[in-house]
Amino acid sequence: MNHSLITADRATHLKIVAVALVSAIVIVAAVIAAHVAERPAGDSLEARAPAVKVGHPVAYSRDGTPVVR
């Protein structure tokens, strides 16, 4: 058994590469399968509410009154 990758032989390196490659393929396949799933007919990417606009920056003091900067 090789306890270090520095002293590992060629077969050990090939096993590591093979396991990494198979793992990557399994993960990519799972992501693609999850992404390709059909959306329900009523589900859309349109906004359902108006966009919130950012106001002026406000800093609060100790007494709680806002100070606009």
- pTM of this prediction? 0.47
pLDDT score at 20 = 96
Separation CA 5–CA 20 (nearest Å): 15
Domain count, the chain: 1
pLDDT score at 44 = 62
For residue 21, is it within any domain? Answer: yes
**Domain containing residue 3:** 1-37
For residue 2, is it within any domain? Answer: yes
Separation CA 22–CA 12 (nearest Å): 15
More confident residue, 17 or 69: 17
For residue 29, is it within any domain? Answer: yes
For residue 4, is it within any domain? Answer: yes
C-alpha R_g of the chain: 28
Q: How do residues 19-61 score in pLDDT, each as one tens digit? A: 999 999 999 999 888 876 566 665 566 666 677 677 777 666 6
For residue 48, is it within any domain? Answer: no
pLDDT score at 46 = 67
